[in-house]
Chain A
């Protein structure tokens, strides 16, 4: 575990010493503050729209940070040859993979804390309320979703040589899952065999990330908390997918020559 934490520590340092997070955070803050400062059509319910847009921006920014940070980890280590002195030490390849995953995941957790703290402050300034447990449920499952995205991107970074192609492919896959993943079973019904079976297979094989994504409505519409057992089950479901992608990444990396 010591080696995994050591690698993770370097990944976290990299994130806060690069500009990516600050740029996206400032951009999100500026857009949200501008939206919050105007009251279009004197609509008293405008805060709902602000909340929805702000949460959407947080999702987009967190996905950009998670995918771009993870996609460059191993390829840049190979390209700049920092992988050689690292693997020449008593560090196994699975430890490196798990360290990179943990570092990216924890770093994204810190990013989410910043984003949700800002969001909470913005909403409190208009509604004078802090539904902390709602925020916790939404942010927690958001973080778990990022775990799946990071593990998937890490696996992609071992298959695709260039970080840019891996990032693009991961963005397309994650966006497709978030936007159409839940409708695949309905789509399958209207298709003939063998397309129907194929679409069903895809529906059952993909990680369904839409539940955490749709939980934004919990905050937007001030809905009551959902059951903690449901949150725990969804977290376990997402962790199982992250573990599967990580194991696949270890298997791919195990036989790869690093020279």
Chain B
């Protein structure tokens, strides 16, 4: 198997701003391997370390110890990000640009030749159904449209690995379905997708493998069916693995 994304004993500590407070440990020796062509779901409760892991993979945060690589290149090298697409959770784009200009700007950063960039811009705008609004300033877009621009920018370089941080957060059911369709389409094209989500039903539908982390530690990793085991749903398995104890009603 061709491993595209790897973390080894990844540990991230954030120093406390308060005097004599011990540092907050966000990740405790995380080991992950993601193979080419798989859709990988990254699950965990809020504050478990999902976004920190993504931030390390994208070079936003330096690990305290351990290592992370994309396509075998250390994530601290900007070139490691040449073949990836990234959609952050709830992001705003330059409001004074049109969708077309924004995508042209990003395609320049990927050093795409002009003709190829124009083809890619047409293709991704068609994919996210923003062709009719391509010349409108982004400040006039609705929230769903902004999320779709985000998806378009993540796909502009035809990435081999797509990293999505809660891609359906804040979207209506139609928008969610659209994102799911796009992920499945990318999977059929042989792309690798790594995404964090709280939507367990969605993860169950589209993912080949999932990892569950809690309190910065990897609790489980494997195929969706293996993780679920005899349990009725992924949600039940998730709650068991993170150690959720239901409180009895008074």
Binding site for B on A (CB under 8 A): 2-3, 5-6, 9-10, 13-14, 17-18, 80-82, 84-92, 255, 257-259
| Contact indicator B108/A2 (Cβ below 8 Å) | yes
Nearest CB in chain A: distance from B74 CB, A = 14
| Contact indicator B106/A89 (Cβ below 8 Å) | yes
In the complex, which of the residues A13, A81, A85, A86 has the most CB atoms of chain B within 10 Å of its own CB atom?
A85
Would you list which residues of chain B between 36 and 62 have a CB under 8 Å from chain A?
51-52, 55, 58-62
7 A–B pairs (Cβ distance < 8 Å), ordered by A: A5-B108, A13-B96, A13-B101, A85-B93, A90-B82, A92-B78, A259-B61
Which A-chain residue is minimally distant from B163 (CB atoms)? Answer: A88
| Contact indicator A14/B96 (Cβ below 8 Å) | yes
B167 close to A (CB within 8 Å) = no
CA distance A6 to B153 in the complex (A): 15
Q: How many residues of B contact A (CB 8 A)?
A: 35
| Contact indicator B154/A10 (Cβ below 8 Å) | no
Cβ-Cβ contact count across A and B, 8 Å cutoff: 82
User: Using Cβ atoms and an 8 Å threshold, which residues of chain B touch A17?
Assistant: 96
User: Using Cβ atoms and an 8 Å threshold, which residues of chain A touch B220?
Assistant: none
B91 close to A (CB within 8 Å) = yes
Quick one: which of B59, B62, B86, B101 contacts A85, CB cutoff 8 A?
Answer: B86
A2-B111, A3-B109 known; A13 vs B97 contact (CB < 8 Å): yes
| Contact indicator B91/A85 (Cβ below 8 Å) | yes
| Contact indicator B94/A6 (Cβ below 8 Å) | no
A13-B101, A85-B88 known; A259 vs B81 contact (CB < 8 Å): no
User: Using Cβ atoms and an 8 Å threshold, which residues of chain A touch B153?
Assistant: 85
| Contact indicator B61/A88 (Cβ below 8 Å) | no
CA distance A5 to B84 in the complex (A): 22
| Contact indicator A257/B61 (Cβ below 8 Å) | yes
Binary A-proximity of B91-110 (CB < 8 A = 1, otherwise 0): 11110110001000110111
Nearest CB in chain A: distance from B190 CB, A = 22
Which A-chain residue is minimally distant from B106 (CB atoms)? Answer: A89
